[in-house]
């Protein structure tokens, strides 16, 4: 029998729920602390990971944080006191590794969200949040039945919204105060 859309969606939700519940709370708290302590937050991810992090960048901007997406023409130079927040499932993407090393050389802090805790990227910083998801080429079906890095990217999006919500609740800002920063050029 072919699985229905509903069956497939239930699988996606169940896998994402298990993965979110397995994230170490201390890792998430370190990421929250690094974000609030930073003068500016720079966001970097490639592919679908980058798309998920851009959503977080928008929400952090709504909170009033100074946020820049690496690669945008308006992104300034990173410096001491800044945070480079990187998402990379594999922790091996060459351009991401280069950017992380450049940020460290500039005196910035680096925080990593990855599915690979022993990767070259994770070894560069103590601020690592591990998402228990399959690597892109893992076809075993043990960590996820989904294609490629889908589970990592889904959890990254949910994690971003969870981090934003925690920061918002801690900020004491109202929804109307955040809305004042929402784009009015749409």
pLDDT block averages, 10 residues each, the chain of length 186: 90 94 95 97 96 96 98 97 97 96 98 96 97 80 83 96 97 96 91
Residues serving a catalytic function are 153
Please state, in angstroms and rounded to a whole number, the distance separating the CA atoms of residues 8 and 15.
11
Q: What is the per-residue DSSP string for 16-34?
A: HHHHHHHS-HHHHHHHHHH
Mapped onto helix, strand or coil, the DSSP state of residue 44 is strand
Cα distances from 148 to residues 18, 38, 48, 85, 172, in angstroms, run 18, 33, 11, 22, 39
Of the CA atoms within 13 Å of residue 31, those in its CB half-sphere come to: 26
Supply the pLDDT for residue 139. 75
Supply the pLDDT for residue 138. 73
Q: Which residues contact 117 (CB under 8 A, 6 or more apart)?
A: 128, 130
Supply the pLDDT for residue 39. 98
Q: Which of 35, 47, 56 is nearest to 127 (CA)?
A: 35
Supply the pLDDT for residue 163. 96
| CATH class entry, domain 25-175 | alpha beta
Supply the pLDDT for residue 134. 81
Helix residue ranges, H only, 1-87: 5-22, 25-37, 47-62
Please state, in angstroms and rounded to a whole number, the distance separating the CA atoms of residues 176 and 174.
5
Supply the pLDDT for residue 144. 87
Supply the pLDDT for residue 137. 72
Supply the pLDDT for residue 140. 72
16, two tokens:
């994402």
């Amino acid at each position: 029998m072919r699985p229905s859309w509903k069956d497939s969606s239930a699988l996606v939700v169940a896998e994402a729920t298990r993965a979110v519940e397995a994230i170490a709370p201390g890792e998430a708290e370190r990421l929250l602390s690094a974000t609030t302590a930073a003068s500016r937050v720079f966001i970097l991810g490639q592919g679908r990971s980058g798309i998920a992090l851009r959503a977080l960048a928008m929400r952090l901007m709504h909170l009033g944080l100074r946020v820049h997406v690496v690669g945008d023409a308006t992104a300034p130079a990173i410096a001491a006191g800044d945070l480079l927040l990187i998402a990379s499932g594999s922790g091996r993407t060459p351009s991401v590794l280069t950017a992380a090393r450049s940020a460290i050389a500039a005196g910035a802090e680096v925080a990593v969200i990855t599915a690979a805790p022993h990767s070259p990227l994770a070894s560069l910083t103590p601020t690592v949040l591990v998402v228990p998801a399959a690597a892109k080429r893992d076809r075993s079906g043990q960590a996820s039945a989904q294609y490629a890095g889908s589970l990592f990217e889904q959890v990254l999006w949910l994690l971003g919204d969870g981090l934003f919500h925690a920061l918002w609740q801690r900020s004491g800002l109202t929804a109307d105060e955040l809305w004042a920063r929402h784009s009015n050029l749409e």
